[in-house]
Amino acid sequence: MVEELNPFKIAQEQLDSAAQIMDLDKQAHAILREPKRVLTVNIPVRMSSGETEVFTGFRVRYNDARGPAKGGIRFHPQENVDTVKALSAWMTWKCSLADIPFGGGKGGVICDTKKMDNRELEALSRGYARALGTDIGPEVDIPAPDVYTNPQIMAWILDEYMNITRKSQFGTITGKPVDLWGSEGRMDSTAMGGIFVMREAAKMLKLDPSTSTIAVQGFGNAGKFAYTLSKKIFGAKVVAISDSEGAIYDPDGLELEKLEAAKANHGTVQAYESKNAQKLTNKQLLELKVDILIPSAIENQIRGDNADKINTKLLLELANGPVTPEATDILFQKGVLDLPDFLVNSGGVIGSYFEWTQNITGYYWDTDRFYAELDKKITKSFYDTIAMQKTYADKGKKINTRMAAYIIAVDRVARAMKARGWY
């Protein structure tokens, strides 16, 4: 049995490693090990049965030295405060690495959206917004969609916030419907950013994405877009993909229409049918021999007990926290180019920054400009990370890409805290 891993302990361990390598000031380190603010709320909701159920929710503001907190909201039955704290920490480093004027935050509610109807979801969303009140806002803390939340849920939360404040502040929420001044390009910006990183990493490894084999763990928003964009932009061959029920593998490549039909008609991609299709477990998908592996599901998928079985040249962490610290070390020793989550999936928050900027200024972009700006931002982050790794290598100290990205991000936040007089 695999030991349950605490994501916040992992986030702290990652920070501790970076702090030691970069010789971070002890006072700054102490501040950065813990969130600035943790809010727990209880939300009563009258269910369609007539019974009232109380849901527990969280909002964590990890650090706002560089700007208002930024981070998504998850609706998940296994949500807990340690996961939210970890995600808010990673969000802090993600915004800093991307060099955008946000700090890190995150939110979550313990609920099972699959067992709730639309009316109940709306009531829960509005109740969560009322519980947070003015603890969110365009200059305070800016939520967005995450696991099992979507633009419609963001619209309900925004509307409730506007009812509370009596202000039309569309920049309070990002990932909104375009009809409420959401940004064109935002919905697939997480995956699109990952694809831009994949392009640059492939150049470095001398891989041709058009002839490379790709496995994607996860068929949610990020995973599906990763599949679609890999095919659309590079003509890549995605040979395996999974959902919570399991995985499907076809050495000849998978077809999106058949995957979507299998999911819609049978509830799982494992119902996909083709001449050479094989059902796999999620574990087996991760261990396939492929050129590029893209974990796009949940935390702690590649650990110390399976990292030595990973058989890929390039690992793109599109999910949050899919690789544990122990696994990171093993992959580095194996020579796998493992690019960290807060670089690879930063396209989502960069896209949210663009949406927020448009909301604040009232000047809106088309999709072409959005993608061009996203490409510029995330490509710079990739090369900043590789350059930092080389800087340490030149000093005779080999560090992995995660530590290189951490050093950049932590240093920027620490310098902002120092300038503000926090230590």
Catalytic residue check, 106: yes
pLDDT category at 2 given cuts 50, 70, 90 is: very low
pLDDT category at 236 given cuts 50, 70, 90 is: confident
3-state class (DSSP) for residue 163: helix
Strand-pair partners of 261: none
Distance, CA of 101 to chain centre = 18
Least confident of 236-240, 386-390, 392-396: 236-240
Task: Write down the pLDDT at residue 1.
Answer: 37
The string of pLDDT tens digits covering residues 273-329 is 888 889 999 889 999 999 999 998 777 788 889 999 999 999 999 988 889 888 999
Residue 222 has pLDDT above 90, yes or no: no
Q: Please pick, among 36, 70, 94, 106, the residue that the annotation labels catalytic.
A: 106
Domains and CATH numbers, the chain: 7-16+24-29+36-180 (3.40.50.10860), 189-344 (3.40.50.720)
Average pLDDT, the chain: 93
Task: Write down the pLDDT at residue 218.
Answer: 85
Q: Read off the tokens for 396.
A: 């005779």
Say what the pTM is: 0.91
Of residues 265, 221, 263, 218, the one with CA closest to residue 241: 218
Strand-pair partners of 316: 339
The string of pLDDT tens digits covering residues 21-78 is 999 999 999 999 999 999 999 999 999 999 999 999 999 999 999 999 999 999 999 9
Q: What is the DSSP string of 323-334?
A: B-HHHHHHHHHH
Q: Read off the tokens for 315.
A: 């690992």
